[in-house]
Structure 1
Amino acid sequence: MGRYIFAVQSNPAEGLEQEYNDWYSNQHLNDVLALPGVLGARRLALADQQIMPTPHNFKYFCLYEIELDNLQTFIDALMARAGTERMPINKAMGNSLPVFWKVM
């Protein structure tokens, strides 16, 4: 079995931060956690204080721990559900950058 981190950086749509956080924490996390292979998730927000200026354009970050034999199977299941009743996308979702990392 392979272990992966699915890391998603994101921002809410302009003026919809409260709705975005409510949707992400109370619905979207559960929708992703329902996918086969997902072991857990953690949401983070960029801290106001940093050691040096950061080039990050994203305020929010979510890490999903995944364990499975074939990462493409997870990607296919995620894409098949995205935007459906099994994983609705809220209008409060702004831009995002999803990236997979292999655990060494």
Structure 2
Amino acid sequence: MKLLQRREDEMPRFDFIVFTNCKEGTDDEFNDWYTHQHLQDVMRIPGVVSSQRFKRSEHQRDPGPFEWNYLAIYNCDTDDVQDIIGQIRARVNTDAMPISDTLAEKRFFCVFEPITDMQYPKE
């Protein structure tokens, strides 16, 4: 495997992966808040450059059960990923990043960094 080589002047890239669920019966309200408010709140943090949400498909390789119904991916260009993590922690449940009551308490947050360039099928 060829590891990703960065130019000296190129900013490192990280992806924040967040798995969540909503409280039972609150799907519509949860999705409205997450898509229209929370994504924008997170992207106001310097270095967070884009985001995308996903809902778990009913089509899976294995039968499950599956713990998480929703996934958000935040793309970050920064040389200080700890600063972004600290800013998220500082803003949670403030006017800068209110958290909806529809968000289930348990969630999973993890940071990844690429080790290869994007791969595409060979012709």
Same fold (TM over 0.5): yes
SS for the counterpart of 2:33 is helix
Separation (CA, whole Å) in 1 of partners of 2:65 and 2:12:
31
Give matches, 1:40-59, under 5 Å.
Answer: 40-54=50-64, 56-59=66-69
The alignment-based identity, stated in percent, is 34
Equivalent residue number for residue 97 of structure 1: 108
Larger Rg computed on CA atoms: 2
Question: 4+ residue stretches of structure 1 with deviation over 3 A?
Answer: none
- How far does residue 58 in structure 1 lie from its aligned partner after superposition? 0.4
SS for the counterpart of 1:24 is helix
Relative contact order: is structure 1 or structure 2 higher (C-alpha 8 Å, sep ≥ 6)? 1
Q: Specify every segment of 5 or more residues in structure 2 that has no aligned partner in the other structure, as ranges.
A: 1-10, 116-123
Whose helix proportion is higher, 1 or 2?
Answer: 1
Give matches, 1:54-73, under 5 Å.
Answer: 54=64, 56-73=66-83
Separation (CA, whole Å) in 1 of partners of 2:77 and 2:65:
30
Q: 2:31 aligns with which of 7, 10, 21?
A: 21
Separation (CA, whole Å) in 1 of partners of 2:28 and 2:112:
29
Whose strand proportion is higher, 1 or 2?
Answer: 1
Separation (CA, whole Å) in 2 of partners of 1:51 and 1:15:
27
Q: Specify every segment of 5 or more residues in structure 1 that has no aligned partner in the other structure, as ranges.
A: none
TM-score for the superposition, normalised by structure 2: 0.80
TM-score for the superposition, normalised by structure 1: 0.94
Question: Residue 43 of structure 1 aligns to which amino acid in structure 2?
Answer: R
- How far does residue 54 in structure 1 lie from its aligned partner after superposition? 3.6
Question: Residue 46 of structure 1 aligns to which amino acid in structure 2?
Answer: R
